[in-house]
Amino acid sequence: MKQKLILITGSPCVGKTTVADLLYQSYENSAFFDGDWAWCVNPFSVTDPRLRNGDRVMAFALDNYLQSGFDYVVFSSVVIMYEDIRRPILKGITASEYEVVSFTLTCSEETLRARHRLRGDEGDCSMHWLHEPVHSGDHIICTDGMTPAEVVAKMRAIIDHID
């Protein structure tokens, strides 16, 4: 079996981190890296060129997990929905003999608003990320009406089928 690098992207509050955490825990010999950890800067601005350093941190962390021999490496990030960010991160990985399985999580605007309220977000939530085009080749999972465990089960069915 080839190692699996599992990418999870989608709008903020769609459930990426929750699902990624459950997914990695469901596999033996696995690791999890949340891309938000590499972009945790103050002040934050998507246009800040220093965030490219965060992209290199992401590539380094993922490469380190793969080089360490984990069978499953789970990576969640909003920003990997963009090819011009995803490509350099993946290119920065020097490990070989691994397979990328990528997912875009989505939901309705109503569900997204409800999840923002549950998280305690004040004011309007942006629907911008929700309506971005899906990265070519991603498996799309609509999380409306699904528990995180159900989303993980759906993802595992796809990942395990590839094995």
Q: Tell me, what CATH number does 96's domain have?
A: 3.40.50.300
- The total number of structural domains in the chain stands at 1
CA distance between the termini of the chain:
6
Residues 6 or more apart whose CB falls under 8 angstroms from that of 23 comprise 6, 8, 32, 74, 152, 155, 156
**121-127 — which CB contacts under 8 Å span 24+ positions?**
121/13, 125/12, 125/13, 126/12, 127/11
pLDDT at 163: 60
Enter the pTM of the model: 0.93
Q: pLDDT averaged over consecutive 10-residue blocks of the chain (163 residues)?
A: 96 93 98 90 82 89 97 95 93 96 96 86 78 93 97 97 79
pLDDT at 1: 84
Residues 6 or more apart whose CB falls under 8 angstroms from that of 61 comprise 33, 38
pLDDT at 123: 67
Its domain, for residue 88, covers 3-162
- Tell me which residue of 5, 10, 2 sits closest to 100, measured CA to CA: 5
